[in-house]
Structure 1
Amino acid sequence: MVQRRVQPEHVQVAATLRRMREQAKVSREESAVLLGCTVSKIGDLETGRSKPKPVELERLLDHFGVAGDERAELVEFARTARGRRASGPYTAATVPNNHRRIVDLEAQAVSSLCYSGELVPGILQVEPYAKALLDWSWQGKEAEVGKLLALRMERGRLLTRTHRPPLRYWCILGEGALHTVVGGDAVMRQQVEHLVALNTTTENVTIQVMPYDGGPHAFRGLLATLHRFPPPAPDILLTDSYGRETIQDRPQVVERATHHLDLMKGMALSREASTEILRACL
């Protein structure tokens, strides 16, 4: 029997639905009773194997106590997801709920492989480093900075979560990120110390430094992240450049990106050598 391919936009709805249920402290069993279905169907709804009917989604959101803009935006996204292409742009700066949904994708993933050339990726950032970046991006908008900072710190906890297996995270970090001063010398020292600690004490995190002389590669000038999900959901590639965050699931594109990211692992320094480079920056 040929298994129907899971659509990435359904994975986005599923990831957000699971996060809302967990925040409401509602079990899958309770959700199943609410909808009059099996627990396995709730699992399918939360992995993207099936899409909730509008009435099911509304009932779940009522039970989870979700209201306001986040509810309206998720309902609208779910309603139009059937015809929505996953490769469209998402501008997190202007559409926070779409950004939240992309973060939910990260939370649903079982593993992620990231390349970042100039900045430490959000999930690895310490709070002062993240705040310095957000202050620069959202000058004078303290409320927005506060919300996005809390969200970014929430992402970091994916690496140490205990209610399910922590995210397996592999980062290829450009050497330039270690010399791009964000927030001043004291903040950079705290940030690098955090990277050293992750690389030496956290089994599910690997950080490789791509040296300046590592040579050309496919992701120069981009931030690229490859997310893997529980089967049968597809792998999803996120790329980020100025003003444009793109989600891509086409198999040929994802396979090519996976190949290039694997090549970059071989070009970058080993985990041990990378740790020594990081320590030398302290």
Structure 2
Amino acid sequence: MASSVNPTVRRRRLGSELRKLREQKGMTAEEVAARLLVSQSKISRLENGRRSISQRDVRDLCGVYGVEDHRIVDSLMQMAKESRQQGWWHAFGDVPYSVYIGLETDAASLRVYESQIVPGLLQTKNYAEAVIAGNLPEATPEQVEKRVHVRLRRQDRVNDPDSPLRLWAVIDEAALRRIVGNHEIMREQLEHLVHLSTLPHVTVQLLPFDSGAHPGLSGQFAILEFSDATDASVVYLEGVTSDLYLEKDTDVHTYSVMYEHLRAQALSAEQTRQFISDVAEEYAG
């Protein structure tokens, strides 16, 4: 479950506030960087929440922006302090997609499209182990185990009895047909997927092969939305060596429209459960 203070979300909120102050001052990121003798990329990374923000950074920026209200400065300084705390995922060491985990931990809803595998939040332990080991052929058993633990811990959001994540997953038929591990692991995974799809806050739709070309052919993506109106929605695109986070309204809108088309082309939730159950029976046989 999410902690009371999420450092990733705090950084995003603080960065957003600092960007507003800069814009109100009528300054560009380049001008601010020149005043503080730092790189323009540092200012951009502070504002988009991709870099840890120190209280000294806040003090210096408030000085440049001429912020005289001590209550505003104190509030921003407190946010900077909280943004440097560690989330639960830091206990597992260096997790390459820690920024995404921080966002997912605080998200109110998640819409995900997967073209090759079952989404991580809906995976069984055995399936997750097989996926991670296959995706990282040079990883040690210990490294695989750590990533599996992180993936299973992320699933606490789906199982949270008080504030479960609203999850909508559109999955390509290829994810059902690709044998990850073995037939028994696939049967277990698909039966688990059917079970989770019956939860009131989880919707699963299958995109069958015969649906033809569709907007998801370019690959996996996820759209995260937050309950706090000050937190902008984020589109997450997973990469091999780096990930991409899109927050512009136009980008989020484009992917949201794509997702609606995917939902329209996919089978209904009930049809999906029957389809997955039939494929699970094939693996059982």
TM-score (norm 2): 0.67
Q: How does 1:100-119 map to 2 (within 5 A)?
A: 100-119=98-117
Matched, 1:207 2:204: yes
1:103-153 deviation digits (Å, cap 9, x = unpaired): 121111000001001111111110001101122214351221111110000
Count the aligned residue pairs. Answer: 215
Q: Percent of aligned pairs with the same residue?
A: 22
Give the aligned partner of residue 172 of structure 2: 174
Measured at CA, do residues 239 and 140 of structure 1 come closer, stay the same or move farther in structure 2, by a change above 3 Å?
Answer: closer
Query: Tell me, which stretches of 5 or more residues in structure 2 are unaligned?
Result: 1-14, 20-46, 54-70, 281-285
Give the aligned partner of residue 25 of structure 1: none
By relative contact order (CA 8 Å, sep 6+), the higher-ranking structure is 1
**Separation in structure 1 between the aligned mates of residue 154 and residue 112 of structure 2, nearest angstrom:** 14
* Contact 1:138-1:145 at 8 Å conserved across structures: no
How many Å apart are 1:10 and its aligned residue?
Answer: 3.5
**Separation in structure 2 between the aligned mates of residue 208 and residue 51 of structure 1, nearest angstrom:** 44
* Larger radius of gyration between Structure 1 and Structure 2: 2
**Separation in structure 1 between the aligned mates of residue 150 and residue 116 of structure 2, nearest angstrom:** 21
* Contact 1:127-1:153 at 8 Å conserved across structures: yes
How many Å apart are 1:191 and its aligned residue?
Answer: 0.4
1:201-255 deviation digits (Å, cap 9, x = unpaired): x110000000112132222141100000121211100112444421110110110
Q: How does 1:40-51 map to 2 (within 5 A)?
A: none
How many Å apart are 1:13 and its aligned residue?
Answer: 6.9
Q: Which of the numbers 218, 224, 237 marks the counterpart of 1:239?
A: 237
**Separation in structure 2 between the aligned mates of residue 51 and residue 217 of structure 1, nearest angstrom:** 47
Secondary structure of the 2:163 match is coil
* Contact 2:216-2:262 at 8 Å conserved across structures: no
**Separation in structure 1 between the aligned mates of residue 235 and residue 78 of structure 2, nearest angstrom:** 24
Amino acid at match of 2:185: V
Give the aligned partner of residue 266 of structure 2: 268
Amino acid at match of 2:187: R
Measured at CA, do residues 217 and 243 of structure 1 come closer, stay the same or move farther in structure 2, by a change above 3 Å?
Answer: farther
Measured at CA, do residues 267 and 215 of structure 1 come closer, stay the same or move farther in structure 2, by a change above 3 Å?
Answer: same
Q: How does 1:114-193 map to 2 (within 5 A)?
A: 114-136=112-134, 137-162=136-161, 164-193=162-191
Amino acid at match of 1:234: A
* Contact 2:224-2:234 at 8 Å conserved across structures: yes
1:163-188 deviation digits (Å, cap 9, x = unpaired): x4100000000011000000100000
Instruction: Please provide the CA RMSD for this pair.
Output: 3.1
Measured at CA, do residues 11 and 167 of structure 1 come closer, stay the same or move farther in structure 2, by a change above 3 Å?
Answer: farther
1:8-52 deviation digits (Å, cap 9, x = unpaired): 8449979xxxxxxxxxxxxxxxxxxxxxxx9xx9xxx9xxxx675
Matched, 1:224 2:221: yes
Give the aligned partner of residue 251 of structure 1: 249
**Separation in structure 1 between the aligned mates of residue 243 and residue 51 of structure 2, nearest angstrom:** 15
* Contact 1:13-1:101 at 8 Å conserved across structures: no
Amino acid at match of 1:205: V
**Separation in structure 1 between the aligned mates of residue 255 and residue 139 of structure 2, nearest angstrom:** 38
**Separation in structure 1 between the aligned mates of residue 133 and residue 234 of structure 2, nearest angstrom:** 30
* Contact 1:135-1:145 at 8 Å conserved across structures: yes
